[in-house]
Amino acid sequence: MPVLHNRVSNEELRLRMLAETEPRTTLSFYQYFHIADPRAFRDDLYHAWVALQVFGRVYIANEGINAQVSVPQSLFERLRQTLYAADPALANLRLNVAHEDDGKSFWVLRMKVRPRIVADGIDDPSFNPANVGHYLQAAEVNAMASRPDTLFVDMRNHYEYEVGHFDNAIEIPSDTFREQLPMAVEMLQHDKDKNIVMYCTGGIRCEKASAYMLHNGFNNVYHVEGGIIEYARRAKAEGLPLRFTGKNFVFDERLGERITDDVIAHCHQCGVQCDSHTNCRNQGCHLLFIQCPACAEKYQGCCSVTCQEELALPFAEQRARRAGRENGMKIFNKSRQQLRNTLPAADTDDKQAK
């Protein structure tokens, strides 16, 4: 029987994945349903997926499952069957298959039990997450987008919205979903009788957000079925015009899927049009930011001159500096404020030249 967690180094697993010859399929899915024993559910699914060489990130809670994974193409249907066999609630589960996919999205399977599959901060016992808004498929989304009495509300983070969003969508300016929910209610307080269309990457956040808006007295709440991923797939398959512009940020090594050719964001260091996210190469920073090829070369993949200089130090000194640093620069930091605090020192010369 396989162990219930990985015991091989990340670098070794990554090299093994890159050496694979069979193509992989990247997919994502979620389902809200009651799991009486999340730990047992997790362990059973882990055993099944290790045998199928599944890689990815999976969260399991009493309220359901949320997953982004990759699987060898020849084993895709067997993965589907493991889900159907795990619980009757997963019998008609929609699997969102990635658009731009080289199969190199993950190289290890991480499956965790958590209090919630998406952290929402809701502690109101009267809240019913099953009372969700109306689902909209691609053609219905486009019809709604043309109506003046309709507001599209983006329930993703600032770095996701920045590179792509639905036409005229409202951004909820917060760094976390738990902060966005009450903020969305406050921002839209005077629009309770309008059509409110919530959307997100794959549907998990906007589905819960739609329930929260109904809980707070909004009358006409909708959400995009399957999120941006499913909308783009259906719209392209049906030959519909795309009302989403730019790139869809995704939470794996690709960091984005292109939906349209439009580039609506800019390099955070020099300001040229660019929508390529990267993480600062300085492991003591790892800030997520947008960097063009020229700045990537100039700053050696770093977000600032400070990080570039630190990266050039002997490894032992890098570690010593990180150990003494205040907890202001966290690994994979994606906050809007951290972006503001870190980048100006790097882009002064470039912006003055423009």
- Which residues are known to be catalytic? 200
Sole residue written with tokens 């997963």: 90
